Each structure stands twice: as C-alpha cells, then as structure tokens.
Amino acid sequence: MILVQISDTHVDVSNSLVYGRFNTNTALEKAVSVINAMDPLPDLVLHTGDIASRGNVERYERFRQIVDPLLVPIVLIPGNHDERGALRQVFSGTTMLPSNDEFLHYVIDSFPVRLICCDSVIADETPGELCPTRLSWLSDRLDDAGDQPTIVALHHPPFYSGMTGTSAKGLLRGGLQLAELLTQHPQVVRVLAGHIHRPITTNFGGTIAFSGPTTCYPFGLDMGAERVLNIVNEPPAIAIHLWLADASPTGPGLVSHVLPIGDWDEPVPLLRDGKRVVS
C-alpha cells in the first residue's frame, strides 16, 4: 500500500497570492503532477488539513478543480484555516470527505492499513483540540478493528516540535488523553498531522508521530528565544508512506519518505539491477 500525504495546500481564489507572494494554487498543481507521475501510482492521497487559505465554498471549488486530474482517490481532513459548513457544502456526499457527523471524522477501511481521520478543529481558532466527544469516537474506532495496522490522522500535531515560534499553536487539549489511548492500542503504526508546514518525526503514545510537509510555503526551523515563525525559501514537498507487508528482517512496517517538489536537473543513474552504470 502506498499512501501519499499532502498538507497545508492553502488554496486561494484564482490569481491570488497568499501574503502577496505565494501562488498556492500553482504549487498544488505541481504536487498533483508529481503524484500522477509516480511509478507505481499510490493507492490513496490523504490531505491533512488547511485545504484553503480561508475556508469558503469558492476556494473549495477551486481546490476540487485543481485535484480533479489526480489519477488516484483523495480524502480530506479539516485544518484551522478550513470551515466545516463550506467543506460540507462542497464535499459531503463525495468520497473525499465521507462524514455526516457533527465533526468531520471518518474511517477508511479498504486498505491493508486502516486510516482513522480525526477532526481537531476549534472553529475560528488556530490551535486545535480533541474534546471528550471526539476522543470517545476515536477510542471506539480503535476498538473496532483490534490488531489491524492503523494510522491516526489529524491536522494539529499532538507533540511539541521544538520550533519556539509555534509553541502555543498545536493541540491545546486532548493530547495527553490521545497519547494514553494510543499506548493502549499498539496496532497504531503512525500518527499523521499537518499544520507545521515542515516534516517532523517524534515518538508519541508508544508509536511514531509525523507532521507532513506543505505543498506551498514551508515554515523555518527556528528554535531561538525570540519565538519567530518565518516562511522560508525551502522547497515544498509531499510525504509518501509505504506499507511494506514483508519488510524483512523486521516484519511488516510503515516506511515514510519526504519528496521535495521542484524543477531539478536530470537524475544521474548510478546503479541498474545492482550494477554500476557510471564510473
């Protein structure tokens, strides 16, 4: 199973530059081209939230147009820049957001790795939470399929990144309870988040947690006392999570890669069938 994670696409209306500089729509078009050029194609694309720069119907329609050429299915979870009502209006009844609940959470059960997609949004606020209702829903979903390998996805990372400029903007409430839940469910092979606009990996609740890169403007790794959050001129990227059913000698496992997006020089072939092709 190959799962592509895209995140923080911050799509805007046509011909608009976010912060006066970033054409987030063109950036997403490039990500779609990269995904469609993958060989083999992935099974699924997961968007870990902040679909639009500011959620409304017009921007979600624009997003839908941009991802329409994707050759594989895509599913969405909301971020703090998104708006549940507009998301429902554009995506409910589609396979992209299969939820009719008060919260936009759901389970994808059709792959070797089960995907539990959570809604960590607090309306009109930057930080997120998993309230008792959402934690209870997640607990039931984790109990549903005891030992099937599972990914838990949410927009707000439940861990601290060490980036001082973002320290108060992750998961405000429910993080400790989430860690406890995961400790009781060893089938969870990964927690996937977005929101920090750069790839970060850590241990969390007895498993591995990862925040995915953004397809548009990355945040810098600033760890100083001044608590600065910068947008930096690093390449955007997608993450690719490979479920290897037989990753001998360690057995099955989920391997995560980060693929930067840009116009690079042609690759230099080094080996083919294990034999050196350049001297």
Q: Which residues would be at the binding site for Fe ion (CB under 5 A)? A: 8, 50, 79-80, 195
Q: 114 or 195, CB closer to Fe ion?
A: 195
Q: 205 or 218, CB closer to Fe ion?
A: 218
Q: Give me the least distance between CB of 249 and Fe ion, in Å please.
A: 39
Q: Give me the least distance between CB of 41 and Fe ion, in Å please.
A: 26
Q: 149 or 218, CB closer to Fe ion?
A: 218
Question: What is the DSSP code (8-state) at residue 217?
Answer: -
> Which whole-number Å values give the CA distances from 66 to 26, 43, 213, 267, in the listed order?
9, 19, 19, 28
* Max Cα distance, the chain (Å): 61
Q: 122 or 259, CB closer to Fe ion?
A: 122
Q: Give me the least distance between CB of 18 and Fe ion, in Å please.
A: 10
Token pair 């500011």 is found at: 54
Q: Give me the least distance between CB of 128 and Fe ion, in Å please.
A: 8
Q: 79 or 165, CB closer to Fe ion?
A: 79
Token pair 């997608």 is found at: 238
Tell me how far apart the alpha carbons of residues 210 and 190 are, in angstroms, rounded to a whole number: 7
**Cis peptide leading into 236, omega within 30 of 0?**
no
> Which whole-number Å values give the CA distances from 258 to 4, 100, 181, 182, 196, in the listed order?
10, 32, 28, 24, 15
Token pair 């309306």 is found at: 123
